[in-house]
Structure 1
Amino acid sequence: MRYENRATLVKEFAKEYNPDTGKSEAPAPINYDTVPCNISPLSAERTALDFGDVARDINIIRLNNRFDKDVTHAYVDGTKYLIVKHVKYRRDTSLFVEQVN
């Protein structure tokens, strides 16, 4: 399998109330490494089986090595993806992602 794309993995946080400013602010996101990956679409049958909805546009990002850190988003070729499911295998990792508009 070719790992021709590059994914930047990011952990973003929800907004929290800041009593000093009186506003809801999101803490700065944590940017992890940019890693080689392979991205491919998930079939309609598998999407219906795993997620219960055929209309969702789910892709799979496969990483060559195991990635244990907690991430919420991935950026591939300037496109932002929300990580829906993080599957850790013995030697590699698969991320089921949905594109964020």
Structure 2
Amino acid sequence: MNERIYFDYLVIGGEHDGRCYNGPLTDCLEVNSIYVPMAKYCSPHFPSEVLVQKKISYNVRHYHRYDGKCFLIATNENPEDDEIEQAITKMQPRPVN
């Protein structure tokens, strides 16, 4: 049986700051943008514009805590350890190990 293992990714920074996403193990987490442009009005005689939802990529790194637990942090910034600890305490993602 081919079973996929999913992990929790805690996003720090950017428009998805403080959110958790669940997915297979990867080095680059891609999620849909929160901000979607509004559809433009069109008349029945002209075809409407196709809107493609923008994807945002975050680099994933392993964060090892003092208690030995490892978390997957998705970020494009360089957050401080205190900021990461606060986000882990608030969102409570599942550790990798």
Q: Tell me the TM-score range normalised by the shorter chain.
A: under 0.3
Larger RCO, structures 1/2 (Cα 8 Å, 6+ apart): 2
TM-score, normalised with respect to structure 1: 0.26
TM-score, with length taken from structure 2: 0.27
Find the structure with the greater CA-based Rg: 2
Name the structure with the higher strand share.
Answer: 1
